[in-house]
Structure 1
């Protein structure tokens, strides 16, 4: 369940980071550039894509440079922690790169807006030379738009779908994977036994999946007013049902994402919610793998999306060229190339009839979920703390037998304290 855009899941490699003073300070390169020189406009770009899909991102940059002789983008790959330390002050003072993926958490854009560090993207509209915002993943565009202005595009997008072990389902007499949330719970119990868990769930050091379980039951974690919704009866009922499933040993207790992956890879779990990055490893492990949509919930289809924002410095010397790069990056040709190379779905919602993508069954299935995919805690003040200090401890407590109603009250108080909700 690991991926490059979730901090606790990043398998970072040691990369020597450039100092702030050394980036974007040469002529024609970056936000602190001197007088223009002959040759292409040079754009520096910082990213934290240090994982196995790094080559796919680097290949995109190479293709852009080959097809745009008047612009040269240099992608500098650094650990996410390094970017988080260096970029805020660099952009606030007019230094650093022209473009960056500031963080794996989309909510970080709010901090950069406070320091007036982000360029409002105005090169939007129809056509290949524009950022086709209305064709991009709606959950990402909504998160990246503030007061009617767009400040980033999705560098990538991923959705969660239901992985299942065809062999184990067949052995349990199940012809098809579950289609509804009630079937998901029932099938998880049917598939449990003989050393096999029906559903492999992780609750920390992973992309979140418990919110999907709540959404399927019509619940949520934080409302648009910043106040906890966990203490509503609907959410208490939902968490009680899922916690009972865990306590009945139909799902394991307290797994990290890596441990959940290992369980499924070993054929010890029949089903799992996961992203596109896991498919190749499961196939290599010899799993007779199936991928199905997340079962339909009480209010229709829903799943979780994760994305990394790609933004432009407000002080770049080359705003037009930087936005031209964003338009190309999110265009159909680039996204087709990236999807086929990385296994991630394209960031666009209008490529369902693309024959090359349709030929890749895994990519096509994850891409099909984009319209109903939701981000986790979008726009919530203190979202990382809400997750680590309230939500994760809540799931850990109730799956170990603590009273759900009591633990929900504790978690709600913690959430409201973090977000500043007054409770009125």
Structure 2
């Protein structure tokens, strides 16, 4: 582990640690490469079906980097439920890695701690410049008007995955394009121990992703123009109620899904227990659970009416993983060299190809690996109809408190309690009162 001084944003870090549950000493100096340490520590996020799968993907690439540079990379793959708390603890304890993966939705929150290296024009020039990256991916790298806190590494978007056989058995000829169609189709698919749609009511991040998109479709952003929480607007309330009503009113989501956490809905889908799931870059997970590619199809996530696009027809958040450097690394040159390696055209094709994600580097998107039906849908969604989650310092608290509000409402629905506009507004009001004062 590298040691670095405590940052000025320690109060921000402490506030985040109080509310979040997640997805080397010395100053950085230049100098010639021979004077720099020959080791880097890297915290990678869990991208594959398990931690061992990630090590099998990453370790050959890290050895390649060592052969080219003489720098050894000490790898730790950190599970998503632990990653944010581990990062925040590192910003306050003075111990952390040189380079790390972060969920792109956390960029502004982590930027506010002051612990991450700003990617100013000089640092961006070291890796080829901002213009190499897809603009949608760069929109989730930090607060507007400030140097980014990270650079994009893997890009993803949400899509609707469906079981072809279950659709055919129910006489459904095409995937639903609107929410009304999804509910109507869902009622035809539910029954005999099977359910139309999978959800993860105890997965706070997934709850936020879904209700944020529905909020955009209802004209709500959850934050006002000054970055203040606005969780109880009519649009925000309608978005949360619409999502929970898939279980509470329409009964196309199994009540047991209220207790589901990370990836449990994907397992049900792969085993034929549910006919549809809204997820991001799911192909590798399906394959790891024994599902053949020809058993499932993929389509853009639903909108209220018309076709996906900007404004109220946003149908995905900009999902993905960013790569960041702790500002007080004692091997800044090596860390920048590592980021350059990981975001190179060559490595982007290799890593994104193995993880089934969309390369955020434009030049890496060519080739058959990224021309499969799933990747075409995800790539088009990112380019035309995805929006970044609010890039505000309190974003990670937002994920926790509103994600928990949705979890509580799913629990009520699973218990048979009525989910009303008033009960939704009350949960969101409670969530808003837990946010830090601006």
- TM-score, normalised relative to structure 1: 0.76
Q: What does 1:61-72 correspond to in 2, within 5 Å? A: 61-66=62-67, 68-69=68-69, 71-72=71-72
| Deviations 1:366-399 (CA, angstroms, capped at 9, x unpaired) | 3333233344554262234324543322343356
2:110 and 2:370 map into 1 onto residues whose CA distance is 39
Q: Which moved more, 1:334-343 or 1:192-201?
A: 192-201
| Partner secondary structure for residue 75 of structure 1 | strand
Q: Which moved more, 1:138-147 or 1:253-262?
A: 138-147
Aligned to 1:294: 301
1:93 and 1:213 map into 2 onto residues whose CA distance is 36
Cα offset, 1:99, TM superposition: 1.8
Q: What does 1:10-409 correspond to in 2, within 5 Å? A: 30-32=24-26, 38=34, 42-49=38-45, 51=51, 52-66=53-67, 68-69=68-69, 71-78=71-78, 96-101=96-101, 103-104=102-103, 106-107=105-106, 110-111=109-110, 113-114=112-113, 116-123=114-121, 129-132=127-130, 135-136=133-134, 138-139=136-137, 141-145=139-143, 147-205=145-203, 207-208=206-207, 210-211=210-211, 214-215=214-215, 217-220=217-220, 222-224=222-224, 225-246=226-247, 247-253=249-255, 254-257=258-261, 258-277=263-282, 278-281=285-288, 284=291, 288-298=295-305, 299-349=312-362, 351-352=364-365, 354-371=366-383, 372-376=385-389, 378-379=391-392, 381=394, 382-398=397-413, 400-409=416-425
| Partner secondary structure for residue 292 of structure 1 | strand
Higher helix share: 2
Cα offset, 1:288, TM superposition: 1.5
| Deviations 1:189-243 (CA, angstroms, capped at 9, x unpaired) | 2322333222222211363353266247425462244555453334444444444
| Partner secondary structure for residue 167 of structure 1 | helix
Residues 161 and 54 of structure 1: CA distance in aligned 2, closer, same or farther (over 3 Å): farther
1:194 and 1:363 map into 2 onto residues whose CA distance is 33
Aligned to 1:6: none
Confirm or deny that 1:419 pairs with 2:435: yes
1:113 and 1:231 map into 2 onto residues whose CA distance is 25
Maintained 8 Å contact 2:401/2:431: yes
1:83 and 1:179 map into 2 onto residues whose CA distance is 35
**Structure 1 unaligned blocks of 5 or more:** 1-17, 22-29
Cα offset, 1:169, TM superposition: 1.2
1:45 and 1:292 map into 2 onto residues whose CA distance is 39
Give the total of aligned pairs. Answer: 393
**Structure 2 unaligned blocks of 5 or more:** 5-23, 306-311
- TM-score, normalised relative to structure 2: 0.74
